[in-house]
Amino acid sequence: MNKVIALFLILSLQSCQFFDKKVPDEKVLLEQELKKINWEQVDEFPSFSECDSITEKDSQQSCFYETLSMQLHSKLKDDSIAKLFPQLDTIQVKVIISSNSDLNFEPIISDSIAYNKPQLDSIFQLRLIDFPKINPAIKRGVPVKTEFQMPVVLKK
């Protein structure tokens, strides 16, 4: 009986080693997870409130770009830009949407034509001051800053 108890004790002490697993290093796990993330794409695109009800990702993205393009065109089609810059028919606009829904629009001017950039910037800021709210893009459940360029056709 003593031998059975001794054998049981030895086996029970040895069996604990089978369950002893090393915990992975936090830094290694973090590096592995960061390598898996595609930092060039977001999980959810920025959106206007009228596009939020669309569930399909491609349709929601199309709705966002169409609404943004329509809003930019309607606000910038004023005659002041056409009078000040008659040779300008299309403007590339850098759109920056911060993680807290702040908007910034920067006109991108080609170097081949000389423009008064501060004047054009001020026109943009005045025209786009009451722009509709845009919800920020989402990456892994966190709102993130996004930047992209859009052409705005001024003359057709």
pTM for this model (two decimals): 0.71
Q: What is the pLDDT of residue 100?
A: 92
Continuous H helices in the chain:
2-19, 26-36, 57-76, 79-84, 117-127
3-state secondary structure of 125: helix
Q: Which of 88-97, 120-129, 137-146 ranks highest by mean pLDDT?
A: 137-146
pLDDT in tens, 119-138: 777 877 887 788 888 999 98
Q: What is the pLDDT of residue 155?
A: 67
**CB contact at 8 A, 79 and 91:** no
Q: What angle do CA 120, 121, 124 make, to 5 degrees?
A: 90
pLDDT in tens, 46-87: 989 888 888 888 888 899 999 998 888 887 776 667 677 777
Which tokens belong to 65? 């770009």
pLDDT at residue 26 greater than cutoff 80: yes
